[in-house]
Amino acid sequence: MASGGKSGSGSRPGSPSRFAYKADRLKPLRAFCQTTRLGSVSRAAEALYVSQPAITLQLQALERELGHKLFERSGRRLVPTRAGELLYELARPLVDGIDGLPAAFRNQLRGMDAGELNIAANSSTILYLLPPIVERFRQRHGDVRLSLHNTVSADGTDLLRSDAVDLVVGSMQDVPADLVYEPLHRFKQHLVMPPGHPLADKPDLELADIGQYGLILPPKRQITWRLVDLVFQQNRVPYHVALEVGGWEVIKQYVAMGMGISILSSICLTEADRGRIVTRPLERHFPPRSYGVIMRKGRLPSPQARAFMDLIQPDLFVRRDYYDSGHSER
């Protein structure tokens, strides 16, 4: 570089280095986001295929420019400070959007006649809610490879966070800060019992009446079990679970055989159940159960996911809805 004389750009001394840093701001922001996700500089370095000192320097440069400490140590993990949490909320959509740009661009070029779509849902959603939507999607986008992953809600959100699925369809009580949930359908809760059961015709059905009989419920890790437990506990009414089993068709069959009674959402009731089980609505004691779509907050849906969601409800997660915190069922 020539020494002396005027600078050709008219910049003040020191501005070229600052400009060079800002021109490549994605690197420190990417390092910051990975460190926040993984809780470790060394793990972030491994994920980004760079050296650990490089990550440290990028984080230090970011802290100097912003004038705030971004991390503090909690045991063996690095956790974001309040300023770090704020930066993560702002930076993550930008970094994820830029990093996902090549794949999104290729998908857009290919259009909707190619690619794949991965959806996580529990068994009741797959069995009762999704069939007509899947059928319409297959009719319109037959070349898209559609995979439905049968999971419980917690496992589905883990798959979503790891990018193993594009979206989750199901129910959610408490929405984590990194996810957004849009409830689309609400179904009443019903008591189901075999014909001739003492509660079938009892007027003014109370929780104490239900608590006298053994319940057949899905496993504890599922939302239904937690909702039932919450209602009985809040009302201080004792109850007991006689049988714990997965699958609503199995539960209804066991109820029909007289092994117990159950509480389920009306989404699980079909015409085939008429005659073999008796149902009583429980809206006085149990809130309706919502089902909807769960996505990562700030992550733009793929064209395939967008097309699937449009079949459920047009303009879902467009504009504000997609970036705001999701609804909570509590």
Q: Tell me, letter by letter, the H, E, C secondary structure of the chain.
A: CCCCCCCCCCCCCCHHHHHHHHHCCHHHHHHHHHHHHHCCHHHHHHHHCCCHHHHHHHHHHHHHHHCCCCEEEECCEEEECHHHHHHHHHHHHHHHHHHCHHHHHHHHHHHHHCCEEEEEECHHHHHHHCHHHHHHHHHHCCCCEEEEEECCHHHHHHHHHCCCCCEEEECCCCCCCCEEEEEEEEECEEEEECCCCCCCCCCCCCHHHHHCCCEEECCCCCHHHHHHHHHHHHCCCCCCEEEECCCHHHHHHHHHCCCCEEEEEHHHCCHHHECCEEEEECCCCCCCEEEEEEEECCCCCCHHHHHHHHHHCCCCCCCHHHHCCCCCCC
Is the residue at 104 inside a domain? no
What is the residue-averaged pLDDT of the chain?
A: 82
User: Which residue, among 312, 319, 3, 318, has the nearest Cα to 134 in the 3D structure?
Assistant: 312
Q: Are residues 81 and 63 both part of a single domain?
A: yes
> The domain containing residue 221 runs over which residues?
189-287
Q: Give dist(CA 32, CA 65) in Å, integer.
A: 13
| Residue 112: predicted pLDDT | 54
CATH code: domain of residue 161: 3.40.190.10
Does residue 2 lie within any of the structural domains? no
Residue 135: what pLDDT? 92
Domain end position, chosen among 44, 76, 99: 99
Spatial distance between the Cα atoms of 107 and 104, rounded to a whole number of angstroms: 5
pLDDT of residue 148 exceeding 90: yes
Give domain status of residue 8, yes or no: no
Predicted pLDDT at 154: 61
Within 8 A by CB and 6+ apart from 270, the residues are 128
pTM of the predicted structure, to 2 decimals: 0.57
Which of 53, 73, 99 is where one domain is finished? 99
Return the higher-pLDDT residue of 182 and 325: 182
Query: Which position has the token pair 């470790």?
Result: 40
Provide the CATH number for the domain around residue 26: 1.10.10.10
41 and 157 co-located in one domain: no
pLDDT at 252: 94
Q: Is the residue at 229 inside a domain?
A: yes
308, 171: one domain: yes
Q: Is the pLDDT of residue 314 over 60?
A: no
* Percent of the chain scoring above 70 in pLDDT: 84
- My answer on whether 199 and 270 are in the same domain is yes
Same domain, 283 and 294: no
- Tell whether 40 and 179 lie within a shared domain: no
From 68, 99, 130, the end of a domain falls on 99
Q: How much is the average pLDDT of 207-227? A: 90
In this structure, are 145 and 200 located in the same domain?
no
**Residue 307 sits in the same domain as residue 294:** yes
Q: Is residue 1 part of a domain?
A: no
Provide the number of structural domains found in the chain. 3
Tell me, what amino acid is at 126?
I
pLDDT tens digits, residue range 90-128?
Answer: 998 888 888 877 877 766 665 555 688 999 998 888 888
pLDDT value of position 3: 40
Cβ-in-10-Å burial (0-12, 13-18, 19+) of 93 comes to middle
Quick one: 265 and 181 in the same domain? no
pLDDT for residue 283 is more than 70: yes
Q: Are residues 230 and 155 in the same domain?
A: no
pLDDT at residue 222, rounded to an integer: 81
pLDDT band at 153 (very low <50, low <70, confident <90, very high): low
138 falls within a domain: yes
For residue 247, tell me if it sits in a domain: yes
Are 166 and 124 within one domain?
A: yes
Residue 10 lies in a domain: no
For the stretch 176-203, pLDDT in tens is 888 888 888 888 999 999 999 999 999 8
Find which of 8-17, 276-285, 286-295, 314-323 is predicted with most confidence, using mean pLDDT. 276-285
Q: For 6-20, 261-275, 304-318, which range has the lowest pLDDT when averaged over its residues?
A: 6-20
The verdict on 181 and 308 lying in the same domain is yes
